[in-house]
Amino acid sequence: MPLILKKALTLILPVCLFLSSCNWFKTTPEVGVILSEHFKNKIYKDFDTAAYNVVFNRHLDSLQSKLSNPKVIGNFYADKDRRNLLVTRFYINGELDTLKNYLENSNIHGYNPEVFRYKELEKTLSALSANQFKSVSEAYPVLADLELYAASALLKYDTFVGYGSVNPKKVLNRYYVTTTRPDSAAMNKVLETKSLTKLLKDIQPASENYKVLQHTLAVLKKDPSRNAVAIKAVEVNMERARWKIPGLSSEYVEVNIPDFSLTWFKEQDTVTHMKVCVGARREKAYEEKLKTYAKTHSLDDKPKNHQTPVLLSKFSAIEVNPVWNIPVSIAKNEIYNQARRDPYYLSNNNMKVYYKGKLVNDTDTIQWEKYSRDHLPFQFKQGSGSGNALGKFKFMFDNGASIYLHDTNNKSAFGLASRAISHGCVRVEKPLEFAQKMVNGNAEYDQLRMEVNLPPVDTTKMGIYRKKLAKKADTLNVFQLKPKWFGTRKNISVFINYKTAWAENGRVEYRNDVYGLDDALYAAMKKYL
């Protein structure tokens, strides 16, 4: 290397090091550039990312108890490039103010704005907008708080308004429906949004039912002391309307337990509507009695709980002239006592008894006093026929609670105002009409009709019908009525639901909280209202 070039490098290198140490070549991060241009304030050009990160980490630690989903937020901001993401994207264009406005008006959903720490967000927004910092280091705490409070509020608002404030499985008795709740991936997507305004708009529940409940809540809250009961009903049913329920097909049957009714929907149009009977409410002081039973293990102390569960499934089959496999609980608590009082009760009610899987031929001779009710070694089945408790039709769908819809031989029950009277399954007022809509076409419907001694709609099949009747009436050959199975049309959901307030023709219908589920739900969400 020539001597002159060596001398030149010797002079230039110290100069470059000096300039670097004086930050002459330093690049201002995006947040500093944006705020500098917005406020026409050069202090933001001195924004030092390393110094800011120290402050951000300190505030992230100190705010853990105030942040919603602190673990998700901590993981999200572990990426240092994100630590001014919301401020950079949404402060200058006014969308953080839009977020603040949505939080302020969250009472339209029944929520208290302070659930989302509205005041903290408003305070930090105002502090930044005041632009009273003498140096950029004074702005660091405000920027860190604004980013964290905005992220926390946004996640909580998205969850509470878009999915509901309560996970129903955690607070409701016999609630077997899976509801969608946001996971960390969904929350990260929320924080990464490119349009805060669009996100907030899309979060709002859009159903007509929800909108009517919202409007009604606003009217009721003009006189809260007078309307306290109605306000509670509307608020808990708005919460139910926020739950996202996957798996509900476009054609579905909804049983509303408090209304004792069934409605068949197809693309939101009503196909049919009828009365139902549902499970009886569990005993009073159920929890206390359950503790006693846990100690004594005596059936006399076991409290009854026949409440129909909330569940979602799809219809799979219709059993015509069904056999009733009597549940163990009913056998021990009811059948056993009836058989002891009346030795002919079982035979008179077409009930068969099985001992270790084998049929007992003469049930009238069983000496019931020899057997303990707590350890009853028998199984019971009621045969097909007019006296069967399930009637002529049983509508099947998969579920873990052994629940189904069925006909009944006790039609008078549909005349009752309160129809919470069954052991848990749902009795249908018009089973034949229900079956007609369920089967695959008219030919199958005619087969179903003939199985229950009804003439076919298609008169060309009358010959087949007469032969069936003659076979059943043949006294020389004993006819034994047996169940017959029919497939159902595919993809028809059954949703056994629980609603005590809902929109109908632009106004709210109210029903009694027959199982006390409103009380349980309200207790869980009250702290957010």
Stretch 147-174: mean pLDDT, rounded?
96
* Domain closes at, from 170, 203, 236: 203
Q: Stretch 59-84: mean pLDDT, rounded?
A: 95
Question: Is the pLDDT confidence value at 2 over 90?
Answer: no
Asked if 362 and 449 sit in the same domain, the reply is: no
In this predicted structure, the answer to whether residue 5 has a pLDDT above a threshold of 60 is no
Helix 208-220, helix 228-242: angle, nearest 10:
150
**Which residues have a Cβ under 8 Å from the Cβ of 104 and sit 6 or more positions away?**
113, 118, 122
- In a domain? residue 14: no
Average pLDDT of the segment spanning 324-345: 87
In-domain check, residue 516: no
CA distance 286 to 292: 10
* Confidence band, pLDDT 50/70/90 cuts, at residue 16: very low
Span 73-107, pLDDT tens digits: 999 999 999 999 999 999 999 999 999 999 999 99
For residue 23, how far is the Cα from the chain centroid? Answer: 57
Same domain, yes or no, for 166 and 42?
yes
Answer yes or no: do 364 and 486 share one domain.
no
Catalytic residues: 406, 425
- Is 118 a residue whose pLDDT tops 60? yes
Q: Are residues 314 and 331 in the same domain?
A: no
pLDDT at 54 over 70: yes
Does residue 388 have a pLDDT over 60? yes
386 closest CA partner among 410, 412, 417, 416:
410
Residues 309 and 496: beta-carbon distance below 8 Å: yes
Burial of 289 (0-12, 13-18, 19+ CB in 10 A): middle
My answer on whether 412 and 275 are in the same domain is yes
The residues, any chain, with a CB within 8 Å of residue 486's CB and separated by 6 or more, are: 317, 318, 320, 435, 439, 444, 447, 448
Number of domains in the chain: 3
Please tell me whether the overall predicted TM-score, pTM, comes out greater than 0.75 for this model: yes
Domain shared by 265 and 414, yes or no: yes
**Does residue 191 share a domain with residue 281?**
no
**Domain assignment of residue 462, yes or no:** yes
How much is the pLDDT for 343?
83
- Whether 44 and 89 map to the same domain: the answer is yes
User: pLDDT, tens digit, for every residue of 472-509?
Assistant: 876 565 557 889 999 999 999 999 999 999 999 999 99
Specify whether 143 is located in the same domain as 43: yes
Tell whether 400 is covered by a domain: yes
What percentage of the chain exceeds 90 in pLDDT?
74
Burial 488-521 (b: 16+ CB within 10 A, else e): beeebbbbbbbbbbbbeeeebebbebbbebbebb
Domain assignment of residue 350, given as a range? 324-382
Question: Is residue 481 a part of any domain in this protein?
Answer: yes
